[in-house]
Structure 1
Amino acid sequence: MINWPFKCVMVAVVLQCIGCAADATGTDSTDPRAARSLAEAAISEDASSGPGDPVSASVSADRPAWASDPAVDDPKASPYLATESEFIERGGISSEWADPFLESRELFSSALQRMSEDERRSMEAQDLARRYRNALERAVGAQGVVEDLTCGLSLCMGSVSSQSRADRDAWAERLYEDADAVRHVTFDVFEMNGDRLHNRFLFSADAAIKAIVLPPRRDK
């Protein structure tokens, strides 16, 4: 039971954003339209459930990339694993895809399981996950519990529970200072569940994925 629901979505970008295309560049063994439908259903459910939880967002970037910006043609093949490719659009992470999955525990759990299955089939993904899990566990220490951490070839996702926001901020600062845990784009969602603060996250461990892709602009 959620005693005090609170969500905070934070996006931090280290490198300059570049232009992005409207269509996702990755390929997936699952139908991406089905995943999109699940995400849209989650948004619709949140919108119909009442006033909703307070959500705040911050973006640090020279210029976020818009999905409607001009770009070169899509590549013929995806360099990413199946699940992570769902979140990647032209040099960045799509906020339209990432936000609903992070804000919904059910969608997040499903994506996490699928990315874990992808990881088991890739030695490179396993090495990346091992490196970031070790860094995360060092940073969290006794101020929380690393519940999940799994990676593809460029993106990682996971969750950590802490006793308080102060504990979370303390280990997050240590993680930020760890040279083995460089993150180029990070999406975070915080939610109180009982007496624990749960932090779900998705981040880029790849310098080639260094932008936030915003939904297409709707001109008046």
Structure 2
Amino acid sequence: ASLQSVRSTSGGIDEQISVHFVEASPKLRSLQARAMGCSDHVANLVGDPVTEESLLEQGYKSSFPSVSIHWHKELDRVPGTDPVFIIAQEFLDALPVNVFEYTKKGWREILVDIDEKQGNHHFRYLVADAPSVSSMALYKHPKIALPPSFVPKIGQRIEVSLDRALAVEQMGEMIQKRKGAGLIIDYGNNFAPSGTLRACKK
């Protein structure tokens, strides 16, 4: 639908369009290739964990006329100087977060520790005894520092992601430099979240 919209606003000109997926998961790369109408060979190639990044990035034909498909593991690997239209569908939700708890001594990071107790689960959350690099960033780092108006309570937990802040800044710089637009779709509320961290088991 996005490609059709781009073509409808281009005055019918059949220009070459490059679609760049920023995707680290081999399985999702394979699904994306099939959804874009790439050949089975391409879907298998980009879905192979050992495929070199240079092969992922070189560009492949799709079922859309004049559209080439590329894959990158990092946003800063996307080349070119042409105008861009960035779509980030729940991209930020997939980035790592740090969890912090407010204590009598200030913010402390929540760590994962080994649990020696009997049972099926042998990991537990542990509140750090001393400040960590990440917890100190809450006070000083310009991209994730909490606003002075935020007054936490003892025991309150929040989740903060420096990777998200850097990714949004990177997208903004790319749009400003190359011209274009961006659409970021995520779900949440206008306050520091907590309790959303999950673990996945293969």
TM-score interval (norm. to shorter): under 0.3
TM normalised by structure 1 equals: 0.21
Q: RCO (CA 8 Å, sep 6+): is it higher in 1 or 2?
A: 1
Normalising by structure 2, we get a TM-score of: 0.22
Q: Which has the larger radius of gyration?
A: 2
